[in-house]
């Protein structure tokens, strides 16, 4: 879907990819949380939530609001009054950490501000580059920020900490010169469009997790370090295997030496993990298609698939014991396109099972009977 912010409307306008008008967003609500403010820009974060830049001039400060796809207001914060009200603004999201970047431009000056998703100011850049009229902003897969300056005819580049890196362009109409640049977009697929934090294989006995994603996008997933192999399968899709990493082995004995060096674990079980030096090089040209892939012990896989099949899809380890212990999650894909359930359709609550209950079950009479049968 296409989401459009129109300053003269109190809602976002939603269209299909073919340009067919679908609805206003959020439906059934008077607006986007601020009746006196108007939407000016919109971005989508890594979890499919919508972030909307709201203009409050002249009566109130500008704001940023976050909505879930079902129209619930999740977060909001006012932009600081450290810049004049009524200035021109642009907004972009860093999909790695959901930081928000907002430009401001008033007269012959301006800058770009970075915010955490709680509204905390991370950094503010207006000098020493002395941007003249910064308009739009984009973020690439490494977290570099690109700002277009209309009056300077330049594109400024800052790193994720707000430090100036370089600039390019310059006034002119030939070659690489620019003349009043405005719209700008950076290719996030420099690392395959992947999140900076890979998803670890977390064993939570008796629990199944759920993750939500938008429709018709390339959805990346990574499964990382474990002390055993896992045969991972996804329902409803075939996926591209764009990356795979193995541990280090002794070339003579074949014995395991250490886990794959691309992954940095934050604890002994590696239930929290990050890429050590950024995401690895991925095969985005001719990756093999699978619906099941073996994750190597102490290694990882990176896969991606086109989210074009709305529904709830199970992603799990094919080992029954691992799946029953909780190595599974449900992908809620394109929830806004799910049909409504029939009237009176039964509903199930969440099933949870503590680690203690799981250990008790595994060590109970059923387990002893099973062991006796195996012996006899």
Give the span between the Cα atoms of 182 and 316, in whole angstroms.
45
- State both tokens at 97: 């950490």
pLDDT at residue 269, as a whole number = 66
DSSP string of 187-200, one letter each residue: -GGGGTT--SSPBP
Of the pLDDT bands very low, low, confident and very high (cuts 50, 70, 90), residue 74 is: confident
pLDDT at residue 62, as a whole number = 92
What are the pLDDT digits (tens) for 111-133? 999 999 889 999 998 765 678 89
**Would the CA dihedral through 126, 131, 135, 141 be positive or negative?**
negative
Give the span between the Cα atoms of 310 and 213, in whole angstroms.
10
Q: Which residues contact 258 (CB under 8 A, 6 or more apart)?
A: 247, 248, 298
More confident residue, 47 or 21: 21
pLDDT at residue 212, as a whole number = 53
Pairing of strands 311-317, 328-333: antiparallel
Secondary element (H or E) of residue 311:
strand 311-317
More confident residue, 253 or 46: 253
Strands in 26-133 per DSSP E: 38-44, 50-55, 63-67, 73-78, 88-94, 99-105, 110-115, 121-125
**Cα→Cα distances 307→147, 217, 218, 311, Å:** 30, 5, 6, 10
Give the span between the Cα atoms of 376 and 257, in whole angstroms.
39
% of the chain surpassing 90 pLDDT:
28
Rounded mean pLDDT, 11-36: 84
Q: In order of start, what are the domains of the chain with their CATH numbers?
A: 2-191 (2.120.10.30), 209-338+351-362 (2.60.40.420)
How confident is the prediction for the chain on average, in pLDDT? 80
Give the span between the Cα atoms of 84 and 62, in whole angstroms.
10
What are the pLDDT digits (tens) for 313-354? 999 989 888 888 778 888 888 877 787 778 888 877 766 667
pLDDT at residue 122, as a whole number = 94
What are the pLDDT digits (tens) for 181-238? 988 988 765 333 333 333 433 333 333 344 555 555 555 566 665 667 889 999 999 9
Judge contact between 5 and 89, C-beta under 8 A: no
Question: Mean pLDDT lowest for which of 58-72, 94-108, 196-210, 302-316?
Answer: 196-210
Of the pLDDT bands very low, low, confident and very high (cuts 50, 70, 90), residue 166 is: very high
Of the pLDDT bands very low, low, confident and very high (cuts 50, 70, 90), residue 86 is: confident
């Amino acid at each position: 879907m296409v989401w459009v912010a129109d300053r003269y409307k109190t809602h976002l306008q939603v269209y299909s990819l073919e340009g067919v008008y679908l609805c206003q967003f959020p439906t059934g609500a008077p607006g986007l949380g601020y009746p006196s403010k108007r939407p000016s820009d919109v971005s989508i974060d890594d979890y499919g939530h919508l972030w909307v830049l709201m203009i409050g001039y002249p009566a109130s400060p500008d704001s940023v609001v976050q909505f879930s796809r079902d129209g619930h207001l999740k977060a909001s914060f006012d932009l600081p009054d450290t810049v004049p009200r009524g200035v021109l603004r642009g907004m972009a999201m860093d999909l790695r950490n959901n930081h928000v970047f907002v430009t401001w431009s008033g007269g012959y000056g301006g800058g770009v501000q970075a915010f955490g998703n709680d509204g905390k100011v991370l950094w503010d850049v207006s000098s020493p580059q002395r941007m003249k009229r910064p308009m739009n902003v984009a973020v690439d897969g490494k977290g570099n920020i690109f700002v277009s300056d209309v009056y300077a005819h330049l594109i400024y580049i800052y790193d994720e900490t707000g430090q100036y890196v370089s600039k390019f362009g310059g006034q002119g109409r030939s070659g690489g010169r620019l003349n009043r640049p405005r719209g700008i977009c950076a290719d996030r697929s420099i690392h395959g469009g992947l999140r900076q934090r890979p998803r670890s294989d977390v064993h939570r006995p008796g629990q199944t997790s759920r993750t939500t994603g938008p429709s018709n996008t390339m959805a990346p997933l990574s499964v990382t370090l474990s002390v055993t192999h896992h045969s991972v399968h996804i329902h409803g899709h075939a996926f591209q295997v764009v990356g795979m990493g193995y541990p280090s082995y002794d070339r003579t004995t074949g014995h395991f030496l250490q886990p794959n060096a691309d992954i940095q674990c934050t604890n002994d079980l590696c239930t929290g993990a990050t890429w050590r030096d950024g995401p690895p090089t991925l095969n985005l040209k001719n990756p093999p298609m699978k619906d099941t892939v073996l994750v190597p012990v102490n290694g990882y896989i990176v896969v991606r698939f086109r989210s074009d099949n709305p529904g709830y899809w199970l992603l799990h380890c094919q080992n029954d014991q691992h799946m029953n212990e909780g190595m599974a999650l449900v992908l809620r894909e394109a929830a806004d396109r799910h049909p409504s359930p029939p009237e009176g359709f039964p509903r199930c609550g969440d099933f949870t099972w503590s680690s203690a209950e799981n250990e008790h079950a595994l060590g109970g009479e059923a387990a002893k009977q099973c062991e006796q049968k195996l012996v006899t």
